[in-house]
C-alpha cells in the first residue's frame, strides 16, 4: 500500500506544471478532462439492485395498504377499507401504544447505561480493555439465539427465574405469563442484547474527544464528575443523537425477540406493531391489512431517521474528520 503511494507520487511532482496543479487542487470537479473518472453507469448495478429490493418495496407497501390480498392471488383494490379498520381496531391501538411505551422505555433504560459504559470503556486502562471485550460478546449472537437463551433462563419450571422470581414479585416464577413481566422481559432482553452496540458507539465517540480538553480542565481543578458533565457530555452530543436514532428505530422494529419470548402474549399484551403486522400478514394471511400496519412503521421510522440526517449533518458528503 505504502509503496504504491510513493511510486505514484514521485513522478507527479516532477512532471506537473504549477498552474495546472493549482486548478486541480482548488476543486476536484474542475480537474483534468475527466480522465480516469468513472461514469455514473458504475453505480447503476448497485443502485438498481437497492432500489428494486428496498426502495421500491417501501413505496409498494403503501400501495398494498389499499388492497385486499391473501398472499397467493393478486392484490385487489379496496380503497380505504384497511385504513378505516385500522382506525377502529382496538388491537392496533394497543399495539401502537405498546410500541411507543417500549420505545421510550428502551431509550430511558439503555441510553444512560450505554453512555456510562462507553465512556468508561474509552479509558485505556488494562482492566477496562479486558472487561470491554467480554461486554462485547452479546453482539455476536443472533437475536434468535439470545432470545432462546433468555427464554430458557425465564422458564418458570427449570429456569433461573424459578429461583429468583419470588424476589422480583413473581412467586410462581411465571414472569412471561404476566403482562407486566412479559413486557419487562422484552425490554430487558433487548437491552441486554443492544447495550453493547451502543456502548461501542459511545466508546468511539468518547475516544474522539481531544485529550487537551481534559488536561485543561484538570489544570483548572475540575474533578472526574465535573469533567464528565462539562466536557464529555457536551462533546458527545452528536454521538447521543446517532445512538438514540438507531435505538428508537430498533425499538420500533423489535420482532424476533417478541416472537420467541412471548409470541405477543399473554393475550395481546406484548403485541407491538411489527408483531401485529406479522400476525395479520403471515398467520392470518391478510396481507393488505398488514401492509397498512407496516406503512405506519415505515412512516415513523423514516421520519425519525430523517431527523438524524438533519441533526448530525450526515449528508454533508465530507469526511467526518475534517477540520479536526
Partner 1 sequence: MTDVLHDHPDHSPNRPLNGVRTPNKTPAAPRPRLRRRGLPRANYPAGLGSLIWLGIVGLPLYVLVAATFQTRDGYIDDGPLALPDHPTLANYRRVLRSDFLSYLLNTALVTAVCAAIVITLSVTVGYTVVRARGRTSRRIFQIFLLGLAIPSQAVVIPVYLVITKLHLYDTLLAVILPTAAFSLPVSVLILVGTMRDIDEELYESMALDGASPTRVLLQLVVPLSRSGISTVGVMSALHAWNGFLFPLLLTQSKSNRLLTLGLYDYVGEFRVDTPALLTAVVLSIVPIFLVYLFARRQLISGLMGVGGK
Using CB under 8 A, which residues numbered 18 to 47 contact partner 1?
Answer: 24-25, 28-29, 31-32, 34-40, 42-43, 45-47
Q: Which stretch binds partner 1 (CB under 8 A): 82-90, 95-103, 172-180, 195-203?
A: 195-203
284 in contact with partner 1 (CB under 8 A): no
Minimum distance from residue 99 beta carbon to partner 1 (Å): 12
132 in contact with partner 1 (CB under 8 A): yes
* Nearer residue to partner 1 within complex by CB, 183 or 236: 236
130 in contact with partner 1 (CB under 8 A): yes
Binding to partner 1, residues 222-281 (CB under 8 A): 224, 239, 242-243, 246, 249, 252-253, 255-256, 259-260, 274, 277, 281
User: Which of 88, 219, 283, 319 touches partner 1 (CB under 8 A)?
Assistant: 319
53 in contact with partner 1 (CB under 8 A): yes
194 neighbors 173 (Cβ within 8 angstroms) = no
Cα–Cα distances in angstroms (integers) from residue 259 to residues 135, 272, 278, in the given order: 25, 10, 9
Minimum distance from residue 220 beta carbon to partner 1 (Å): 15
316 in contact with partner 1 (CB under 8 A): no
* Nearer residue to partner 1 within complex by CB, 2 or 171: 2
103 in contact with partner 1 (CB under 8 A): no
Minimum distance from residue 71 beta carbon to partner 1 (Å): 7
Residue holding cell 433504560?
Answer: 109
Around Cβ 2, how many Cβ atoms within 10 Å? 6
Q: Residue 212 burial (CB < 10 Å; 0-12/13-18/19+)? A: exposed
Number of residues that bind partner 1 (CB under 8 A): 137
User: Which of 149, 217, 222, 231 touches partner 1 (CB under 8 A)?
Assistant: 149
Minimum distance from residue 148 beta carbon to partner 1 (Å): 5
311 in contact with partner 1 (CB under 8 A): no
* Nearer residue to partner 1 within complex by CB, 79 or 210: 210
Minimum distance from residue 78 beta carbon to partner 1 (Å): 15
Cell (9 digits) for 113: 447505561
User: Which of 57, 156, 184, 266 touches partner 1 (CB under 8 A)?
Assistant: 57
Distance of CA 168 to the CA centre of its chain: 30
Binding to partner 1, residues 152-191 (CB under 8 A): 152-153, 155, 158-160, 162-163
101 neighbors 301 (Cβ within 8 angstroms) = no
* Nearer residue to partner 1 within complex by CB, 31 or 265: 31
H or E element in which residue 31 lies = none
Answer positive or negative: Cα dihedral of 61, 65, 68, 70.
positive
φ, ψ for residue 67, nearest 5 deg:
-125, 170
Q: Which stretch binds partner 1 (CB under 8 A): 76-84, 87-95, 174-182, 204-212?
A: 204-212
Minimum distance from residue 174 beta carbon to partner 1 (Å): 16
Amino acid at each position: 500500500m505504502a509503496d504504491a503511494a510513493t511510486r505514484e507520487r514521485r513522478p507527479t511532482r516532477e512532471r506537473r506544471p504549477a498552474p495546472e496543479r493549482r486548478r486541480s487542487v482548488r476543486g476536484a470537479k474542475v480537474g483534468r478532462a475527466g480522465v480516469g473518472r468513472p461514469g455514473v453507469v458504475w453505480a447503476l448495478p448497485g443502485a438498481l439492485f437497492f432500489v428494486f429490493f428496498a426502495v421500491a418495496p417501501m413505496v409498494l407497501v403503501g400501495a398494498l395498504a389499499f388492497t385486499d390480498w391473501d398472499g397467493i392471488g393478486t392484490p385487489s383494490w379496496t380503497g380505504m377499507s384497511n385504513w378505516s379498520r385500522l382506525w377502529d381496531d382496538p388491537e392496533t391501538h394497543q399495539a401502537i401504544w405498546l410500541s411507543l411505551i417500549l420505545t421510550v422505555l428502551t431509550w430511558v433504560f439503555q441510553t444512560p447505561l450505554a453512555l456510562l459504559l462507553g465512556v468508561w470503556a474509552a479509558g485505556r486502562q488494562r482492566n477496562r480493555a479486558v472487561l470491554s471485550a467480554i461486554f462485547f460478546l452479546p453482539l455476536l449472537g443472533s437475536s434468535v439465539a439470545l432470545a432462546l437463551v433468555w427464554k430458557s433462563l425465564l422458564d418458570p419450571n427449570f429456569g433461573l427465574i424459578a429461583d429468583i422470581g419470588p424476589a422480583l414479585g413473581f412467586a410462581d416464577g411465571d414472569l412471561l405469563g404476566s403482562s407486566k413481566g412479559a413486557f419487562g422481559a422484552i425490554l430487558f432482553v433487548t437491552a441486554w442484547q443492544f447495550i453493547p452496540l451502543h456502548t461501542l458507539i459511545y466508546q468511539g465517540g468518547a475516544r474522539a474527544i481531544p485529550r487537551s480538553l481534559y488536561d485543561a480542565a484538570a489544570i483548572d481543578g475540575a474533578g472526574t464528575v465535573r469533567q464528565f458533565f462539562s466536557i464529555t457530555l457536551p462533546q458527545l452530543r452528536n454521538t447521543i443523537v446517532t445512538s438514540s436514532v438507531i435505538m428508537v428505530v430498533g425499538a420500533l422494529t423489535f420482532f424476533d425477540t417478541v416472537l420467541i419470548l412471548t409470541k405477543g402474549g399473554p393475550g395481546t399484551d406484548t403485541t407491538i406493531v411489527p408483531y401485529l403486522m406479522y400476525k395479520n400478514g403471515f398467520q392470518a394471511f391478510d396481507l393488505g391489512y398488514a401492509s397498512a400496519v407496516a406503512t405506519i412503521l415505515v412512516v415513523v421510522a423514516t421520519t425519525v431517521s430523517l431527523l438524524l440526517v438533519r441533526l448530525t449533518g450526515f449528508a454533508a458528503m465530507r469526511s467526518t474528520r475534517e477540520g479536526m
